[in-house]
C-alpha cells in the first residue's frame, strides 16, 4: 500500500455567528499519497479554501474545527502546538496562493524574500542561502540576475515562478496550490503547469491542487475530489471523473466543460445589413505623462470589423488585448483617437450632445462583467428595471398612473423572459439577495427593456460559476433568436465564444489576428495564437503536445 | 544617464520654476498693496529728518523711484548674491543674517520635534494597527484625537504657565541662557536643549496623534494585502512581517505628507515661538510685522517658500530610495 502523506478524516468546520453556526465543511475525508497529484474541484463557496486553511491551521475566527482529524505523516496536526506548527508550515507543507501575482512584497528584492523564508525556519549563513537561491532560480528557470530585482520588474508568469520557488525553498513534502494559474492567460498557464509537473518529477513532492477549472485539473491530476456546499460529493481517479464520475453533480460539471464540438453551426444570413462597422479604430493611452514627456501605447491599434443585424459576433482576447476598450468605445463611454465608427451606415464618431448620446445608447446597450458591481446595491430590482424605461422616456405621452402600470407590466414581462420566476417576487429583491447568475439575468433584462438593436456583452459569464455559465449563454442565445437583435460577445474564453457566436474575431495586443466563421476557426485556425486558444479547450492539451 | 537622476533633475527643474514664481509674487504683491512703507517708516522720525537724510536713507533701503521692472531685476540680482536688503527693525543688520540666525533656531526646534513626533507617531501607529482592537488600540487613538482637538496655543500656554512659570522647571523665554556666550561648549548646548525642551515637547505632543492615525490606517490597509498573508504562511516572524512587509509599505504615502508638513510647521511655529519667545523665524516674523519691516517680512516669506520646495525635493529623493517602483 502506498504511503499516505496527508490523511483527512471526517473534518467538520463551523463558522460561528452570534445566533447560529454555519457548517462550512461537513464530514470531509480524503487522503493524498506520496508523490501524488490530487485535484480538489468546487465552485466558489464550496468550502475548498476552508479545507486548506484547516490543513495549515490558519483558519481565521470565527471558523472552528469541530470534529475530525488531519494527519500529516501519521501525526494529527490538530493536536500540534504553535511551535510544532511553525516547524510544519513551509518545511513540510507549503502553499502557492490564489493571487500569487500579489504575493510578493513590492519593496523587497526577490532574493530577500526567498532568504527570509529560509532564515525563518533554519540557521543558515547568507552566503549559503544565496547559493540555494541560485539553485532555486535555476530550478524554475529564471535568470539568476533577477534575484536582485524587485517584483514589479518581473512579468506575471515570472512572479508566479518565484512564488513557486519560494514554496520549494525548504523542500516540502506537500505543496498546496490554490488556483495558482487563475489570474494568468492561457499561454502562461500552460508554461506554469508544465513547470510544476517537471519540478514534481525532479524533486518528488505531493501536490494538492485546488481549482474551479475541472477541465484543467483533469489534464494532469492522479485523483480528483469534487466539493459541493461543504461536502466532498465525489472522489475518484481522474479517468473515472472524466467519464462522468459517481455523482449527478460531477456529471453536471463535466457537461458544463465547454466543448468545442458543440459550437454554433448556424450560418449567418449574408444578406443581413451591417449594423456596426468600425474602420481602423485607434485608441491610445499615455502611460507616464508629465509636463516633459509622455509615453503612449496603443490599446486598440487599427481594428476594423463589422457586426451585422441578427448576428452574434464573439470578440476573443486575453486581458490587455484591448477588448474592453473596444466595448467602451462602441458604447460611447470613451472617445477614440483615430478611425471611424459607423452605426446603421451613419458615422456616429462625432456625437457628443447628451440628447444624441441618449438616442444612440437606446440602440446600443451593454452588459458588464461583474454583476455584483454593476447593480447599485441600495436599489431594488424594480428600480433597476424602471430606470431605463423612464430615462429613455418610452411612455412619456401617457399619464403618470398609466406609465407606472406600463413600467410594472414591462418589468414583470422581462423578468419572465429572462427566466426569473416568480417575477413578482424578484421585483422587490435587492441585489445582495440574489446569486451572481440571477443578478446577471437582471442586467440582461435591464439591457433588453429599451429594445436595443445590439447588446455589447463584456465578459458576462466570467464571474459566474461553471454550472451557471451555460445557463446564461443559453439564455443569451434564445433571446437573441427571439428578438432578432445583434450581440457582440466579448470574452477571454474561446469555448463559450464558439458556443454562442456565429462569427469570431481574435484580438491580441490591440490588433485583430484572426477572424472568421466559427466552424472554420475551429477546424482550420489561420493564426498560431488562435490555434493555441482553440487547443487549450482540450483537457490535458499541453501535455499531449 | 541614470533615469532616477534624470527624474530628480526634472523635479529640481520644476521646483526651480516654482521657486522663481514664488520670488516674483513675493516681489510684486507687497508692492501692489495699498499703503507706502516709506512713509510708515519715516513717520516715526516725526519730521526730524532733513530731506537729504531721507533721500540718503531711501537709497540705502532701496526705496527709489525707478520703474518697477528695473527694481525687479535689481531684486533678482541681489537675491542671487544672497542680499535681501537691510532690516529697518533691526537696523543696521542685514536681513539675510537675521534670517539665518532665526532659521537655525527654527530648524533646531521644529526639525527635531517634527522628526521625533513623526517617528514616535508612526511607530505607535504601526504597533496599534498590528495589534488591532488590542488595549492600546482602544485607548490611544481616541485620546490623541481628544488632545489634538485643543487649540495649539491653549495647550502651549497651559504648559508654559504650569511647568515654566509656576513650577519653574523650564525657562520661560529665549533659546539659551542670555548670560552665556554662544559657542560650541557643553554648557551652552545644555542650555539650548533645556530651553528647547518645553516648546519641542508641546510640538511633539500635538503632532504625534496625526502621524499615528495616518500610519494606523495605512497599516490596516496593508495588512489585508496578499503579500502579508503569504508572508505569514511562509512562517516569518511577526516582527519581520510587521516591519519589513507591512510598515515599509504603509509608510510610503505618509512620507509624502511629511514633506508637506514641513511647510505647514514652518508657518505653524509662529505661535510656538511667540508663546515661548523663541528667537526663530516665526518670532522674527512677528517682530517684523509689528515693526512694519517689509524687507524682513519678504525675506522670511521667501525662506519659508524655498524651504518647503527644498523639503519636497528631499522627499522626492527619499521616496525614490524607499520605493523601487518609482525607479524606472
Summarize pLDDT for A410-462 with one digit per residue, the tens. 899 999 988 888 888 888 888 888 888 888 999 999 999 888 999 999 888 87
Mutate to test the interface with A, among B7, B233, B255, B327 (most CBs of A within 10 A): B233
Average pLDDT, integer, range B46-70: 71
Long-range Cβ contact pairs of A191-194 (< 8 A, separation 24 or more): A191/A157, A192/A157, A192/A160, A192/A161, A192/A164, A193/A219, A193/A220, A193/A542, A194/A542, A194/A543
Across the interface, of A89, A107, A292, the residue whose CB is closest to B249 is A107
Residue of A437, A58, A489 whose CA lies nearest to A315 = A489
**Between chains, do B325 and A106 touch, taking CB under 8 Å as contact?**
yes
**Between chains, do A107 and B14 touch, taking CB under 8 Å as contact?**
no
Please tell me the distance in Å from B319's CA to the nearest CA on chain A.
11
Is A310 within 8 Å of chain B by CB?
Answer: no
**Between chains, do A95 and B233 touch, taking CB under 8 Å as contact?**
yes
Return d(Cα B285, Cα B87) in angstroms, integer. 12
pLDDT digit string, tens, across residues A456-483: 998 888 777 777 888 888 899 999 989 8
pLDDT digit string, tens, across residues A162-171: 998 999 898 8
- pLDDT at residue A297 in the model: 76
Of the listed ranges A29-43, A57-71, B72-86, B257-271, the least confidently predicted one is B257-271
Mutate to test the interface with A, among B6, B11, B227, B321 (most CBs of A within 10 A): B227
Cβ pair B214, B220 in contact under 8 A? no
Q: Is the pLDDT of residue B125 over 90?
A: yes
Cβ pair A174, A194 in contact under 8 A? no
pLDDT digit string, tens, across residues A493-515: 888 888 889 899 999 888 898 88
Residues of B in contact with A176 (CB under 8 A): none
Across the interface, of B229, B235, B248, the residue whose CB is closest to A107 is B248
- pLDDT at residue A290 in the model: 47
Across the interface, of A94, A102, A107, the residue whose CB is closest to B323 is A107
Residues of A in contact with B11 (CB under 8 A): none
Residues of B in contact with A291 (CB under 8 A): 14
Sequence-distant (≥ 6) Cβ neighbours of residue A139 within 8 angstroms: A165, A168, A199, A202, A203
Is A103 within 8 Å of chain B by CB?
Answer: yes
- Chain A to chain B, count of Cβ pairs less than 8 Å apart? 67
Residues of B in contact with A294 (CB under 8 A): none
Q: Where does A239-273 show beta strands of DSSP type E? A: none
Across the interface, of A90, A104, A288, the residue whose CB is closest to B227 is A104
Question: What are the C-alpha distances in Å from A162 to residues A134, A150, A204, A266?
Answer: 12, 11, 19, 46
Residues in chain B: 328
Closest-CA residue in chain A for B325? A152
- pLDDT at residue B267 in the model: 67
Q: Count CA atoms within 13 Å of residue A278 on its CB side.
A: 23
Is A86 within 8 Å of chain B by CB?
Answer: yes
**Between chains, do A90 and B245 touch, taking CB under 8 Å as contact?**
no
Across the interface, of A86, A97, A120, the residue whose CB is closest to B226 is A97
Where b means 16+ CB within 10 Å and e means fewer, A224-242 reads bbbbbebbbbbbbebeebb
Closest-CA residue in chain B for A168? B234
pLDDT digit string, tens, across residues A233-276: 999 998 898 888 888 888 888 887 767 777 777 766 667 888 99
Is A97 within 8 Å of chain B by CB?
Answer: yes
Cell of A430: 435587492
Across the interface, of B234, B237, B322, the residue whose CB is closest to A166 is B234
**Between chains, do A106 and B230 touch, taking CB under 8 Å as contact?**
no
Instruction: Tell me the pLDDT band of A128, cut-offs 50, 70 and 90.
Output: very high
Is A121 within 8 Å of chain B by CB?
Answer: yes
Residues of B in contact with A122 (CB under 8 A): none
**Between chains, do A290 and B10 touch, taking CB under 8 Å as contact?**
yes
Residues in chain A: 545
Residue of B48, B60, B65 whose CA lies nearest to B295 = B60
Residues of A in contact with B233 (CB under 8 A): 56, 58, 89-90, 94-95, 97
Across the interface, of A89, A99, A105, the residue whose CB is closest to B235 is A89
Q: What is the DSSP string of A147-209?
A: GGS-GGGS-HHHHHHHHHHHHHTT--SEEEEESTTTTS-HHHHHHHHHHHHHHHHHH--EEEE
**Between chains, do A89 and B233 touch, taking CB under 8 Å as contact?**
yes
Return d(Cα A99, Cα A182) in angstroms, integer. 8
Sequence-distant (≥ 6) Cβ neighbours of residue B13 within 8 angstroms: none
Question: What are the C-alpha distances in Å from A5 to residues A38, A74, A457?
Answer: 12, 8, 46
Q: Is the pLDDT of residue B239 over 80?
A: yes
With vertex at residue A322, the alpha carbon angle to CA A317 and CA A327, rounded to the nearest 5 degrees, is 95
Question: What are the C-alpha distances in Å from B308 to residues B108, B288, B303?
Answer: 16, 21, 8
Average pLDDT, integer, range B311-320: 88
Across the interface, of B227, B232, B237, the residue whose CB is closest to A105 is B227
Is A160 within 8 Å of chain B by CB?
Answer: no
Residues of B in contact with A146 (CB under 8 A): none
Please tell me the distance in Å from A119's CA to the nearest CA on chain B.
8
Of the listed ranges A82-86, B31-35, B163-167, B278-282, the least confidently predicted one is B31-35
Strands A37-42 and A223-228: parallel
Cβ pair A407, A386 in contact under 8 A? yes
Sequence-distant (≥ 6) Cβ neighbours of residue B175 within 8 angstroms: B105, B109, B192, B195, B196, B278, B279, B280
Residues of B in contact with A290 (CB under 8 A): 10
Q: Is the pLDDT of residue A56 over 60?
A: yes
Per cent of chain B over pLDDT 70 is 90
Average per-residue pLDDT for chain B? 83
Residue of A541, A449, A452, A429 whose CA lies nearest to A495 = A541
Please tell me the distance in Å from A56's CA to the nearest CA on chain B.
8
Instruction: Measure the N-to-C terminal CA separation of chain A; round to a whole number of Å.
Output: 33
**Between chains, do B325 and A116 touch, taking CB under 8 Å as contact?**
no
Please tell me the distance in Å from A105's CA to the nearest CA on chain B.
6
**Between chains, do A116 and B234 touch, taking CB under 8 Å as contact?**
yes
Return d(Cα B62, Cα B46) in angstroms, integer. 21
Residues of B in contact with A105 (CB under 8 A): 227, 231, 244-245, 248-249
pLDDT digit string, tens, across residues A319-358: 778 888 899 899 888 888 888 899 998 888 888 888 888 8
Residue of A493, A490, A479 whose CA lies nearest to A534 = A493
Across the interface, of A99, A116, A121, the residue whose CB is closest to B240 is A116
Return d(Cα A511, Cα A304) in angstroms, integer. 9
Q: Is the pLDDT of residue A407 over 90?
A: no
Return d(Cα A230, Cα A247) in angstroms, integer. 15
Average pLDDT, integer, range A302-321: 88
Per cent of chain A over pLDDT 90 is 26
Q: Is the ipTM of this complex over 0.85?
A: no
Question: What are the C-alpha distances in Å from A355 to residues A351, A358, B177?
Answer: 9, 5, 77
Of the listed ranges A174-188, A360-374, B26-40, the least confidently predicted one is B26-40
Q: Is the pLDDT of residue B23 over 60?
A: yes
- pLDDT at residue A273 in the model: 86
Of residues B73 and B1, more confidently modeled: B73
**Between chains, do B225 and A121 touch, taking CB under 8 Å as contact?**
no
Which of A89-103, B40-54, B219-233 has the highest mean predicted lDDT (pLDDT)? B219-233
Question: What are the C-alpha distances in Å from A497 to residues A258, A323, A447, A500, B286?
Answer: 10, 14, 20, 5, 74
In Å, the largest CA–CA distance within chain B is: 86
C-alpha A234: how far from chain center = 24
In Å, the largest CA–CA distance within chain A is: 84
Please tell me the distance in Å from A149's CA to the nearest CA on chain B.
9
Mutate to test the interface with A, among B230, B316, B319 (most CBs of A within 10 A): B230
Please tell me the distance in Å from A493's CA to the nearest CA on chain B.
26
Q: Phi and psi (nearest 5°) for A322? A: 105, 5
Across the interface, of B10, B226, B322, the residue whose CB is closest to A103 is B226
Closest-CA residue in chain A for B236? A120
Cell of A516: 472568421
Mutate to test the interface with B, among A83, A93, A105, A151 (most CBs of B within 10 A): A105
- pLDDT at residue A7 in the model: 93
Amino acid at each position: 500500500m502506498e504511503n499516505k502523506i496527508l490523511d483527512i478524516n471526517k473534518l467538520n468546520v463551523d463558522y460561528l455567528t452570534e445566533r447560529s453556526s454555519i457548517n462550512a465543511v461537513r464530514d470531509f475525508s480524503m487522503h493524498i499519497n506520496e508523490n501524488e497529484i490530487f485535484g480538489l474541484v468546487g465552485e466558489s463557496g464550496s468550502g475548498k479554501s476552508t479545507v486548506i486553511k484547516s490543513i495549515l491551521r490558519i483558519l481565521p475566527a470565527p471558523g472552528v474545527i469541530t470534529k475530525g482529524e488531519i494527519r500529516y505523516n501519521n501525526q494529527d496536526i490538530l493536536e500540534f502546538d504553535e511551535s510544532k506548527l511553525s516547524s510544519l508550515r513551509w518545511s513540510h507543507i507549503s502553499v502557492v496562493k490564489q493571487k500569487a501575482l500579489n504575493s510578493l512584497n513590492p519593496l523587497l528584492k526577490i532574493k530577500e524574500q526567498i532568504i527570509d523564508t529560509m532564515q525563518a525556519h533554519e540557521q543558515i549563513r547568507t552566503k549559503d542561502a544565496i547559493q540555494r537561491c541560485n539553485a532555486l532560480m535555476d530550478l524554475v528557470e529564471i535568470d539568476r540576475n533577477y534575484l536582485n530585482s524587485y517584483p514589479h520588474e518581473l512579468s506575471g508568469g515570472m512572479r508566479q515562478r518565484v512564488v513557486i520557488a519560494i514554496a520549494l525553498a525548504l523542500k516540502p513534502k506537500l505543496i498546496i496550490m490554490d488556483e495558482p494559474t487563475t489570474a494568468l492567460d492561457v499561454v502562461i498557464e500552460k508554461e506554469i503547469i508544465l513547470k510544476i509537473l517537471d519540478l514534481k518529477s525532479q524533486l518528488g513532492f505531493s501536490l494538492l491542487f485546488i481549482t474551479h477549472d475541472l477541465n484543467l485539473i483533469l489534464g494532469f491530476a492522479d485523483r480528483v475530489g469534487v466539493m459541493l456546499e461543504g461536502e466532498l460529493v465525489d472522489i475518484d481517479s481522474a479517468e473515472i471523473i472524466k467519464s462522468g464520475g459517481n455523482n449527478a453533480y460531477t456529471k453536471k460539471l463535466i457537461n458544463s466543460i465547454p466543448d468545442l464540438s458543440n459550437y454554433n453551426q448556424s450560418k449567418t444570413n449574408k444578406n443581413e445589413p451591417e449594423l456596426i462597422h468600425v474602420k481602423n479604430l485607434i485608441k491610445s493611452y499615455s502611460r507616464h505623462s508629465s509636463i516633459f514627456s509622455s509615453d503612449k501605447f496603443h490599446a486598440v491599434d487599427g481594428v476594423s470589423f463589422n457586426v451585422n443585424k441578427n448576428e452574434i459576433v464573439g470578440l476573443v482576447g486575453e486581458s490587455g488585448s484591448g477588448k474592453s476598450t473596444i466595448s467602451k468605445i462602441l458604447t460611447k463611454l470613451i472617445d477614440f483617437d483615430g478611425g471611424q465608427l459607423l452605426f446603421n451606415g451613419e458615422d456616429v464618431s462625432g456625437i457628443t450632445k447628451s440628447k444624441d448620446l441618449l438616442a444612440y445608447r437606446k440602440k446600443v446597450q451593454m452588459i458588464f462583467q461583474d454583476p455584483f458591481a454593476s447593480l447599485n446595491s441600495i436599489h431594488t430590482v424594480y428600480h433597476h428595471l424602471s430606470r431605463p424605461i423612464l430615462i429613455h422616456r418610452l411612455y412619456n405621452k401617457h399619464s403618470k398612473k398609466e406609465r407606472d402600470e406600463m413600467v410594472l407590466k414591462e418589468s414583470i414581462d422581462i423578468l419572465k423572459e429572462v427566466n426569473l420566476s416568480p417575477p413578482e417576487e424578484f421585483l422587490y429583491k435587492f441585489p445582495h439577495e440574489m446569486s451572481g447568475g440571477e443578478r446577471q439575468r437582471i442586467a440582461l433584462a435591464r439591457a433588453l427593456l429599451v429594445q436595443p438593436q445590439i447588446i455589447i456583452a463584456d465578459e458576462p459569464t466570467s464571474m459566474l460559476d461553471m454550472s451557471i455559465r451555460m445557463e446564461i449563454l443559453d439564455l443569451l442565445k434564445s433571446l437573441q433568436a427571439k428578438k432578432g437583435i445583434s450581440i457582440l460577445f466579448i470574452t477571454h474564453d474561446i469555448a463559450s465564444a464558439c458556443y454562442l457566436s456565429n462569427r469570431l474575431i481574435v484580438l491580441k495586443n490591440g490588433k485583430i489576428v484572426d477572424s472568421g466563421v466559427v466552424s472554420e476557426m475551429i477546424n482550420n485556425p489561420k493564426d498560431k495564437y488562435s490555434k493555441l486558444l482553440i487547443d487549450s479547450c482540450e483537457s490535458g492539451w499541453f501535455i499531449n503536445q | 544617464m541614470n533615469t532616477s537622476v534624470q527624474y530628480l533633475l526634472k523635479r529640481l527643474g520644476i521646483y526651480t520654476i516654482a521657486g522663481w514664481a514664488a520670488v516674483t509674487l513675493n516681489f510684486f504683491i507687497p508692492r501692489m498693496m495699498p499703503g507706502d512703507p516709506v512713509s510708515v517708516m519715516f513717520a516715526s522720525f516725526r519730521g526730524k529728518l532733513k530731506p537729504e537724510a531721507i533721500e540718503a536713507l531711501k537709497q540705502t533701503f532701496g526705496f527709489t523711484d525707478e520703474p518697477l521692472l528695473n527694481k525687479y531685476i535689481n531684486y533678482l540680482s541681489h537675491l542671487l548674491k544672497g542680499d535681501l536688503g537691510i532690516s529697518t527693525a533691526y537696523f543696521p543688520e542685514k536681513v539675510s543674517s537675521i534670517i539665518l540666525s532665526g532659521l537655525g533656531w527654527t530648524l533646531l526646534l521644529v526639525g527635531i520635534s517634527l522628526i521625533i513626533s513623526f517617528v514616535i507617531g508612526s511607530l505607535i501607529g504601526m504597533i496599534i494597527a498590528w495589534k488591532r482592537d488590542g488595549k492600546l488600540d482602544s485607548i490611544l487613538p481616541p485620546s490623541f484625537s481628544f488632545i489634538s482637538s485643543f487649540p495649539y496655543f491653549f495647550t502651549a500656554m497651559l504648559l508654559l504657565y504650569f511647568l515654566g512659570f509656576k513650577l519653574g522647571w523650564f525657562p520661560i523665554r529665549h533659546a539659551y541662557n542670555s548670560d552665556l556666550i554662544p559657542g560650541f561648549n557643553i554648557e551652552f548646548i545644555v542650555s539650548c536643549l533645556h530651553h528647547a525642551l518645553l516648546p519641542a515637547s508641546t510640538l511633539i505632543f500635538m503632532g504625534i496623534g496625526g502621524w499615528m492615525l495616518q500610519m494606523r490606517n495605512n497599516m490596516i490597509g496593508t495588512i489585508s494585502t496578499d503579500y502579508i498573508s503569504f508572508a505569514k504562511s511562509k512562517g516569518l516572524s511577526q516582527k519581520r512581517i510587521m516591519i519589513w512587509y507591512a510598515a515599509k509599505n504603509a509608510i510610503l504615502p505618509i512620507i509624502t505628507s511629511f514633506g508637506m508638513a514641513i511647510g505647514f510647521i514652518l508657518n505653524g511655529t509662529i505661535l510656538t515661538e511667540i508663546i515661548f519667545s523663541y528667537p526663530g523665524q516665526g518670532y522674527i516674523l512677528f517682530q517684523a510685522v509689528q515693526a512694519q519691516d517689509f524687507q524682513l517680512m519678504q525675506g522670511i516669506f521667501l525662506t519659508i517658500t524655498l524651504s518647503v520646495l527644498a523639503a519636497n525635493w528631499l522627499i522626492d529623493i527619499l521616496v525614490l530610495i524607499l520605493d523601487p517602483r518609482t525607479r524606472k
